[in-house]
Amino acid sequence: MLIDLHMHSTASDGALTPSELVRCCFERCGVGTMALTDHDTVAGVGEARRAARLCGMRFISGIEVSTIWAERSVHIVGLGVDDSNAELLEVTADLCDKRDRRAVEIGRRLDALGFENMFEKALAHTHVKSNISRLHFARALLDEGAVRSVQQAFDRYLTQGKPAYVAAAWPSIAEAVALIHRAGGVAVLAHPGRYRFSGGDWQLDALVEGFVESGGEAIEVVSGSQSPSFVPRCIAWVRRYHLFGSVGSDFHSPGGERPAPGEQGQLPEGVPSVLELLA
């Protein structure tokens, strides 16, 4: 049975409800162990856990926390968190509020570029009418015919340095790791191969070192958000810093640009699994 420890549902910017995602993993994709890791919220964890129990799957509660490092957005996955933890719920409510306020400004900037009512059009792509992400805007731009793909929407408008990019006051990596630990979870550096820094490649090594110094325990060795050619570098970090490895598709929607659940590939032989910390 396959393992996938990084996926999204309609509780953030995924296209499937938590229970639909579980059934997709179990019935179509052969995933036997899964985690739901929505952006800055655990709102879908309870529903997913109940669905996984009915399917006889191993389910791991999770979250993907937005952080800032070297003026770049970096994501930290928390696995095995207590989704009823009061502090976690308080902090994530604040993070979702920051997402929503950022979305209003993104909509204003897109309007100024000639795309009308983009906040409302992005909102139409959400299911919970909150926790609005850049992906919702990318889908709205695709609907408008302004871009040919979701990735092109990011490349032209929504990534750092582009005209509709809006920075948010996310917590530091150290703050996110500490929050995950206080909620009983394990901190995982998500898709390190996706990050690009203006100072050069050395900053990626510094990012991993800073994550480890903050108490992070694991890294996504195999991810649907990074090239398979990046796996050897992740393995080198695992060995250098005595980290555990994780795998995840970063799945958002059927037919999307990321692999289907479980299809990202599995952990290479000899890499200690983060599941050892979640036993």
List all residues 6 or more positions away from 8 whose beta carbon is below 8 Å from its beta carbon: 14, 36, 37, 38, 39, 64, 250, 251, 252
Give mean pLDDT, residues 91-111.
94
pLDDT band at 46 (very low <50, low <70, confident <90, very high): very high
Handedness of CA 152, 156, 161, 163 (dihedral sign): negative
CA-wise closest residue to 74 among 199, 146, 167, 153: 167
pLDDT digits (tens, 9 = 90+) for 59-94: 999 999 999 999 889 999 999 999 999 999 999 999
CB atoms < 10 A from the CB of 253, how many? 15
Domains and CATH numbers, the chain: 2-83+187-278 (3.20.20.140)
pLDDT digits (tens, 9 = 90+) for 132-171: 899 999 999 999 999 999 999 999 999 988 999 998 889 9
pLDDT given at position 199: 73
